[in-house]
Chains A and B, each alone.
Chain A
Amino acid sequence: AQKVTQAQTEISVVEKEDVTLDCVYETRDTTYYLFWYKQPPSGELVFLIRRNSFDEQNEISGRYSWNFQKSTSSFNFTITASQVVDSAVYFCALIGNNRKLIWGLGTSLAVNP
């Protein structure tokens, strides 16, 4: 069975701190895709990144970076120099051979001024 675990339910930081959101996944598929989405207080779901299982390169996009490690089945997300606008719920998700998007329960990040 496939599973995505986001062990951190809530995180609170002060602005300008770095913060890492953890994502651990389980799958027996050799080909799969991992995603991160952001859900701000306004409620919409915003796509952040998609990574396939054959690409373990870390990715950086501005203040956001992602660390994909197949050895530990993790796909962690780091926000550098956090800002109040980063306050949101962040979801990690996995899709494998069954074409079904499996979601973690999300991590609620509060960035305080």
Chain B
Amino acid sequence: EAQVTQNPRYLITVTGKKLTVTCSQNMNHEYMSWYRQDPGLGLRQIYYSMNVEVTDKGDVPEGYKVSRKEKRNFPLILESPSPNQTSLYFCASSSTSGGVDTQYFGPGTRLTVL
């Protein structure tokens, strides 16, 4: 089944404890992206990747890191999480490197930082 997977689905952590949210897609998509969703602010892009080893900042990159060592994986790293990073996170992938094709989303990761 074609899908985008994220792990973990739910995570409660404490301020400053490094964490990684994994994202994997099995559709051989070139484009991948991370978004966060917050009430009243909608979906905002954190980082995106046009292809392997190519990443770029989105609208709200502060406090996050990403890497794209393999085409299928695009992990999101929070080196020192803070409470304002409590949010619902989505990973997405798209078949074109320009990202204009339909983006398919993972199930979401609900992160709480205490």
Contacts and interface: CB of A to CB of B under 8 A. Distances in A.
Interface of A: 33, 35, 37, 43-47, 50, 91, 95, 99-101, 103-106
Contacts of A35: 102
Given A43-B107, A44-B107, A106-B42, A99 B98 contact: yes
30 contacts: A43-B88, A43-B107, A43-B108, A43-B110, A44-B106, A44-B108, A45-B92, A45-B105, A45-B108, A46-B105, A47-B102, A47-B105, A50-B101, A50-B102, A91-B42, A95-B99, A95-B100, A99-B98, A99-B99, A99-B100, A100-B45, A100-B99, A101-B33, A101-B45, A101-B99, A101-B103, A103-B43, A105-B40, A105-B42, A106-B42
A35 B105 CA distance: 13
B97 to A, nearest CB: 9
Contacts of B99: 95, 99-101
A2 B78 CA distance: 30
B108 A47 contact: no
Interface of B: 33, 40, 42-43, 45, 88, 90, 92, 98-108, 110
Mostly helix, strand, loop or mixed at chain A's interface?
Answer: strand
A50 to B, nearest CB: 5
Contacts of B105: 37, 44-47
B104 A47 contact: yes
A103 B98 CA distance: 17
Nearest to A44: B107
Closest 6 CB pairs of A and B: A45-B105, A103-B43, A105-B42, A99-B99, A99-B98, A44-B107
B86 to A, nearest CB: 15
A105 B41 CA distance: 7
A104 B42 contact: yes
B39 to A, nearest CB: 10
A55 B92 CA distance: 25
Of B40, B98, B100, B107, chain A has the most CB atoms within 10 Å of the CB of B100
Contacts of B43: 91, 103
A106 B50 CA distance: 27
